[in-house]
Structure 1
């Protein structure tokens, strides 16, 4: 058995089975390598979307840096074998400014660069992350950071958006109307999740406060709101408000839907409300779709 000098890293590596590189015959310079992605012939079908997903990347949502989970893709012509996927990351880097600002102006810029750089007809993006914002306690006004999950999804074809969506999930409090009605005292309540995906009307100017406006719609229709910090006087306000505003999950989804229909920049939506029931092992949910 060959002996190796274990005082060196190379010797230790070989002792554990590493071998010297094979010289090989394949080219080492890029200009000499085969470019399979750019092969041209009849590949049977045009592909709607091809790209990468589960990409973790820094983003800026509102006033705070956050982390986004990206899916980036383009179309692919029938006579092209593949896309150069490294260019997806390279394009994303061009809009990175200590994090990608998540707004539709930046998204439009990114999708235009993706489409042009890949020489395709369309490009698309979906990214989700956490939006952090200040939410003072209701009575004492103590500042603290709250959060909601948000998602941006868009497709740019030619010179216009063919899909422009914004989604949000907010947590709320719901108090059971039936429990309040039948019980001598108290009523069971639970944390609810209100999730919506909005189809944005691109012919209407999106207000600067669209995130705040949507968050208010999702939580104001619930029995009560959630807060990062509550002192005793705040807690009294929150629990009494919940008791004054009992909501079935069916009530909540209808009230939220009415307010969404009233927003002129909303073209349509998919809405789900889910209660993490406090007296059952299951959740209760309701879903609703609407197009103007």
Structure 2
């Protein structure tokens, strides 16, 4: 005898659901609205545009939230997961807005927020030997949708080398340097490649980093950093100047943290700028 799996039809679902109380949908007497409610740190495969290969498949961590009016007791957490799963592997920068619109509609919310964090890989060539190796960068996309506005922010963390100008000026035999993290966040009127932001940050560092270096490459990066000393303040200002010149960018933040090699603390600097606001006179 053959045994066949039986699935619940769509017509049967309302009858089943009607027998179980919807606790989240009950009224709440405290009358306190919640700004963000949802799920955090759910993993899902995604595809991202790659300037060289066309697209890159990676694994992202998602946070998804909506606002909750004061008269609802709770939101339907499972719907967040259902929305992500409905898109399967098709989640991308281009589909961000449609996901947010679906979140607002299905969860009966005014505002929707979506964050997608993932490692992004770029093949780099060592500066002298030309040997290739993958470098990974932490990227986060943040989307925010209201009835009046839609914003998407791209954040990229770029590891670089920085060399201390003060140490170089007072030392006879060398200068202390360290690995640094540059964090860029941008909002743009036109499409911006992740690679564009990485290259911009690396170009203003004392030197960029590589996955593999041969001895001639190591000599080059050491000497190149020595010839390009940067305080943490220099680093954020030089990157900000490049972002000012990029007409695609309308808003940005740039932060840099130097993990000091001769101190047990970090040096840090940060700039935020809305380019729609004029710079101060003389800037």
The TM-score, its normalising length taken from structure 2, stands at 0.83
Pair 1:205-2:190 in alignment? yes
Which residue in 2 is equivalent to 1:195? 183
Between 234-243 and 143-152, the greater mean CA deviation after superposition: 234-243
TM-score, length of structure 1 as denominator length: 0.81
- Identify the residue that residue 240 of structure 1 maps to in structure 2: 223
For residues 50-84 of structure 1, what are the alpha-carbon distances to aligned partners after superposition, in whole Å with 9 as ceiling and x for unaligned? 11112222333344333322110112233333221
Contact 1:172 1:225 in 2 (8 A): yes
Between the aligned partners of 2:132 and 2:253, the Cα distance in structure 1 is: 32
1:28-107 paired onto structure 2 within 5 Å: 29-40=16-27, 44-61=31-48, 62=50, 63-97=55-89, 101-103=91-93, 105-107=94-96
Cα distance per residue 1:194-240 (max 9 Å; x no partner): 11222x14xx2224xx2111111111101111001111222222112
Instruction: Determine if contact 1:135/1:146 at 8 Å carries over to the other structure.
Output: yes
What is the DSSP-based 3-state SS (H/G/I as helix, E as strand, rest coil) of the residue aligned with 2:118? strand
Q: Does 1:179 align with 2:164?
A: no
Number of residues of Structure 1 aligned to a counterpart in Structure 2:
256
2:64 and 2:113 in contact (8 A); partners too: yes
Does the CA-based 8 Å contact 1:43-1:80 persist in structure 2? no
CA distance in 2, matches of 1:278, 1:102: 39
Please state if 1:127 is matched with 2:116. Answer: yes
5 Å-filtered alignment, 1:107-126, equals 107-126=96-115
Shift of 1:159: 6.8
Cα distance, 1:259 vs structure 2: 0.9
Bigger-Rg structure (1/2)? 1
Q: Is this contact kept in 2: 1:172–1:226, CA < 8 A? A: yes
Aligned to 2:264: 281
1:29, CA displacement in angstroms?
Answer: 4.6
Find runs of 4+ consecutive structure 1 residues off by over 6 angstroms. none
Structure 1 unaligned segments of length 5 or more: list them: 1-27
Q: Report the Cα offset of residue 275 of structure 1.
A: 0.9
2:255 alignment partner, one of 272, 275, 291: 272
Structure 2 alignment gaps of length 5 or more? 1-14, 276-283
Q: Deviations over 1:118-177 (max 9, x none)?
A: 23222111121211121121222222111111111111122740x321111111011111
